[in-house]
Every structure is written in structure tokens, then in C-alpha cells.
Chain A
């Protein structure tokens, strides 16, 4: 079946511009996660959506970052007034939420470059 998809695959923007990154989770997965991975670094949690519950935004690095999930499916991560330190690969993952079948499956990522 179809996996997690993300678009665009690459995004180059100028400092100060806003960007939107899109994630389509695996059909039927109620949980959706955003992570980012900077060059040579591990994956850093950003935000987590589970069904209709309020999202866990504890990983968002600043108020320039926001995300929404419409209809319990597609999610958009928005970065306002981008900075060079925002350059990274942004990864989306989705999962079921049964107690022990919560394996997260990752999309291919969006590589963001802020000039």
C-alpha cells in the first residue's frame, strides 16, 4: 500500500520568507508526527497529532513554527520568517495508536534550504 508522502521533496527559500511543507500519512493512521534532522544531527521531535486531541506542540523551537492537520489526515507544517538555522530535512511519520502497534513509518522528507 501507499506509504507516507511529503511535498515538496526540496525547497529553497530566502531568509524571511514563509514556507509550507505537506504530509500525507498512511491511510488509517490516526497519529502524525513531524521531526526535523539537521546535518549530522539526530532527529528532533517537533509536533504530534493524535486523532481529534489537541496536538503536542512541545517540540516546536519557536513561535515561527506551526502545524495543522485537516480532517484527521493531511498535515501542513508552516515556518514563518525563515532563518538560516531552519535549514534541515523535515520528516513526517504516521502510526496507529494501539498500545504495542505504534510503529512510526516515515515519509521521504522535505529538504529545506534557507539562503
Chain B
């Protein structure tokens, strides 16, 4: 059974702080890794994708991948109340569907 594990939270951080979201996965042949953000009652929207070990930065977001440890993380710098949402980690092999974690709820207080 291929699994993606996330801490359900809630993760609470003050406005302006760094939020750190973590994810582990069981399938070593996973090739593509994604972070989606989902607001309540809405569908998931892509935040970041990462395919190679190391860091990938996009604005206030940094994704980190460590395939040896089967670990993916998402850092959100200068967190804003509008970042409050559920963050879904997803992994996939080539030509397959995404396997999602159950998500981490982030709450950013002003």
C-alpha cells in the first residue's frame, strides 16, 4: 500500500513567521512531488512541484525534497492570514495518478 503521511495539525503560526509543513512517502519509485493548497469548500490548487533532490524556491514558498529519506517539505516565509488553508502533499510515479496525504491545516493569526 503506497502511503503519504502528513501531520494533520492544526499548525498555528503568527503572521510574518515561517510555516514548515512536512510529508513522508512510502514508495521509493515516486518521481514527482507536489504541494497543493485547499481552501475550505474549494478544490486543490497547485503551489509547488519538485522533481529533484534539494530546494526549489518560488516567491515565499520553498519546497525541499530528500529522496533518500523519502521526505518532502514546504516552507512558507512571511506567513499571511490568507495562507490559512489545508496543504496537501502528493506524490506520483510516471504515468500514474497522484497519491495524496490527508493534509495539514495551517492557521496564520494576525
Residue A25 at the chain B interface, CB threshold 8 Å: no
Partner of B51, one of A56, A100, A104, A105: A100
In the complex, what residues of B have CB within 8 A of residue A108's CB? Answer: 42-43
B96 touches A43 (CB 8 A): no
CB contact list, B69-110 vs A, under 8 A? 88, 90, 92, 94-103
How many positions in chain A have a CB within 8 Å of any CB in the partner chain? 25
Residue A62 at the chain B interface, CB threshold 8 Å: no
B43 touches A50 (CB 8 A): no
Contact surface of A with B, Cβ cutoff 8 Å = 33, 35, 41-45, 48, 50, 56, 59, 89, 91, 93, 97, 99-100, 102-109
**Cβ contacts A to B, 14 pairs, < 8 Å:** A33-B97, A35-B97, A35-B100, A43-B98, A59-B97, A99-B31, A99-B94, A100-B32, A102-B32, A102-B92, A102-B94, A104-B34, A106-B45, A108-B42
Contact surface of B with A, Cβ cutoff 8 Å = 31-32, 34, 36, 42-46, 49, 51, 88, 90, 92, 94-103
